[in-house]
Chains A and B, each alone.
Chain A
Amino acid sequence: MKVAFLGATKGMGRALARLLAERGDDLFLLGRDAADLEKSARDLEARAGKGRCGTAACDLEKPEGFASALDAAEAGLGGLDCVVVTAGLFVTQDRLEEDVELARRLLTADFANTVVFCEHARKRLLARGGGTLCVFSSVAGERGRKPVAIYGAAKAGLTRYLEALDHKFRGRGLRTVCVKPGFVKTSMTDGLPAPPFAGQPEPVARAVLRAIDRGQPVVYVPGIWRWIMLVIRSLPRFVMRKIEF
């Protein structure tokens, strides 16, 4: 499989990219920091034990670079079967409430620009007769929740967009995989108190890889979060007003 990967340098993205590389898939990394991308590319090459892993700059806050980054990936890989997006901004609700400009940046990057990136990716995949678009949304978008009001809103929008992509293009060969991680212990959540059922990036990556291979439209990781969110979604409003979750 030829995979273009936005966000492979950190957290769950790093773990997933390693699994893909170790089983022999070809990877092309997209990301913000060129030096950091190079290090991750060397890491994946060493773990795969073969091939070269190309890189190109791509910043979710600079949508004008999306097309050229995906062109570079397509050229570097000599094709394109799968696009994975794990990148995104995360800031705690407190800080977003203090800094409205930061909130605007987060909403733009995690929703508007991610959708634009997916549009570019989707067109390229459809032009090749289909493929897989795997995007990391979040359980934060499942219900309006106090601690993730703004971040959750961006992810809710992204989830709906991915759902529509699946409805619209599945018949033409585009398999959309919407990943909804619960609390996973990565550098993104470092310093936040971990709830019960917090996951680790490696098992999460294995579950996501399985979902990519099956073309599963929605996957909760770790799996238990599917049931947790089922409960949260069915809670009446007066309860949601009381709890801090």
Chain B
Amino acid sequence: MSEGPARERRPFFFGSGRRARIRSREDPAPRLQEKKTEPRLSGWGRIGVAGREVRSEDLERITRDVPLCRGLGRSYGDSSLPPPSRPVVAGSRLADRILAFDPATGVLRAEAGLSLFDLNRVFLPRGFFDPVAPGTQFITLGGMVAADVHGKSHHRSGSFGAHVLELKMRVAGGRIVECSREVEPELFRATIGGMGLTGHVLEVECRLLRVPSPWIHAESERIEDIDRFMDALKQAGPRWPYTVGWIDCLSRGRRMGRGILHRGRWAEPGEAPAGHPRARPRPSVPFVLPGWVIDRWSVRAFNACFYHLHVPRVRRRIVRPESFFYPLDVVRHWNRLYGPRGFTQYQCVLPESAGRGAPRRFLELLTRRGGASMLCVIKDCGAEGEGLISFPRPGTSIALDLPIRDGTQGLVDALNELVIAEGGRVYLAKDALTRGEHYRAMEPRLQTFLAVRRKWDPEGRLRSAQSVRILGDPP
């Protein structure tokens, strides 16, 4: 993907020297050519910026002089992308060693690049699983801390930060610092959900969840409209450790917010199959599809099929954890479905104080503006975590995938204005388009966070494309 601009840096490239010479004779300074091959980085939404990622097993070495660290690049927008003036980020994915694990307590210490995929693969057979169950397992521990990820169990287990015990970090001055709830608690709380802006996470110590079997008892149910959906989520909360809903966000009127509610718990040894779930092959979307594939009509057809293919009664099954927790991981590179312009995910939480009608008002605005999303996920959130600017708070979270079109910025602005009016906020790990003034209006806790950040990084060395966009950092 990233072919270097200069010929000398092409030791393995197949291009012939003759062709390159001819080209350079015709045009002594082939600017266009250089521009084309300039290395680019993008988040999962495939909206790229100029930038390069340096990778090494030795994360301590490569984090000495970079503005940002990046894991597997699964944040949708620009939170893992470098600011324009310092276009090199440190990639943590090769620093993935497990440093200690205590089966008696479930406490794990590992380098920041360990992926959740690897973690579950190693520890599920031994009866441990990650405590929060986010929507993909192709994320790193460092990224899970930086975004303070949450999942289907948020109403019970909170977000990932609640299960983190200690962090080893390289802070902006170059020092390596260990922080926890006891040591440097301010830095610890600012780093959880701090989007990597307080320091580079090098090692993470966290507590895993002990599970009775490696299988999930799953139930799913078709729900006819948004009000019933809210009731069903609320009722399922106390009885089920995992709940999440998919909604058809193009349905209107009486059927607005119809969808499918998923509930799950770990199967007891008696009801689970004897063996372990086996890994299945994951097909890939081989190339970027044209932009017209996902439009209003294809999404409408998909949503209607998805809804009606579910039987109208409750469906109960014992399933593999992967298919329950990470249904989207089944297809690799599914972000290529959204075409060359890429896509963004819009995720907000509407607080309990906004009342029961808030999700309905949100969907009304969305359908009025013609926002079409195949993936619209709804989830009730539990208590707010410790992270100074971390996303979840008690209320209802709604997430939508939006292909980038000419009107997408306007749609995001309109949704943000509603979210501000309802007293909610957006999730930075998904965000690509929120304006700085909107973010500041959503986040009354921002000043506390910025004060801690200034204390640990007075020169403003650590920043991302996202912090330039929404926090007004210098580019």
Q: How far is the CB of A21 from chain B (nearest CB, A)?
A: 11
A245 contacts which chain B residues (CB < 8 A)? 12-14
Q: Are A42 and B100 in contact (CB under 8 A)?
A: yes
Q: Are A190 and B54 in contact (CB under 8 A)?
A: yes
Distance in angstroms between the alpha carbons of A194 and B12 in the assembled complex: 7
Q: Does B98 contact A (CB under 8 A)?
A: yes
Q: Are A42 and B99 in contact (CB under 8 A)?
A: yes
Instruction: Please tell me which stretch of B3-11, B359-367, B454-462 contacts chain A, meaning at least 4 of its Cβ atoms lie within 8 angstroms of it.
Output: B3-11
Q: Are B100 and A46 in contact (CB under 8 A)?
A: yes
Q: Does B126 contact A (CB under 8 A)?
A: yes
B17 contacts which chain A residues (CB < 8 A)? 242-244
Q: Are B16 and A243 in contact (CB under 8 A)?
A: yes
Q: Does B383 contact A (CB under 8 A)?
A: no
Residue of A nearest to B21 (CB): A242
A194 contacts which chain B residues (CB < 8 A)? 1-2, 12
Q: How far is the CB of A5 from chain B (nearest CB, A)?
A: 15
Q: Are B10 and A193 in contact (CB under 8 A)?
A: yes
Distance in angstroms between the alpha carbons of A106 and B54 in the assembled complex: 23
Q: Are A42 and B56 in contact (CB under 8 A)?
A: no
Q: Does A136 contact B (CB under 8 A)?
A: no
Provide the A191-209 mask, 1 if CB < 8 A to any CB of B, else 0: 1111110000000000000
Residue of A nearest to B56 (CB): A187
Give the tally of cross-chain contacts (CB within 8 A).
77
Q: Which residues 25-84 of B have a CB within 8 angstroms of A?
A: 54-58
Q: Are A148 and B11 in contact (CB under 8 A)?
A: yes
Contact status of A42 and B97, CB under 8 A, knowing A187-B57, A193-B9: yes
* Interface range, B side: 20 to 34
Q: Are B97 and A242 in contact (CB under 8 A)?
A: no
Residue of B nearest to A239 (CB): B16
Question: Which listed residue, B7, B18, B98, touches A42 by the CB 8 Å rule?
Answer: B98
Q: Are A39 and B99 in contact (CB under 8 A)?
A: yes
Distance in angstroms between the alpha carbons of A245 and B18 in the assembled complex: 12
* Interface range, A side: 20 to 34
Most B CB within 10 A of own CB, among A46, A49, A94: A46
Q: Which residues 81-122 of B have a CB within 8 angstroms of A?
A: 94, 97-101, 122
B18 contacts which chain A residues (CB < 8 A)? 242
Q: Does B15 contact A (CB under 8 A)?
A: yes
Q: Are B8 and A193 in contact (CB under 8 A)?
A: no
Q: Does A55 contact B (CB under 8 A)?
A: no
Q: Does A9 contact B (CB under 8 A)?
A: yes
A172 contacts which chain B residues (CB < 8 A)? none
A28 contacts which chain B residues (CB < 8 A)? none
Distance in angstroms between the alpha carbons of A245 and B58 in the assembled complex: 30
Interface residues of chain B, those whose CB is within 8 Å of chain A, are 1-4, 7-18, 20, 54-58, 94, 97-101, 122, 126
Ranked 3 nearest A-B pairs via Cβ: A147-B11, A43-B97, A46-B98
Q: A46-B99, A187-B94, A245-B13 are known; give 15 further A-B pairs, CB within 8 A.
A: A46-B98, A92-B11, A94-B8, A183-B12, A187-B57, A190-B55, A192-B12, A193-B4, A193-B9, A193-B10, A194-B1, A195-B12, A242-B16, A243-B14, A245-B12
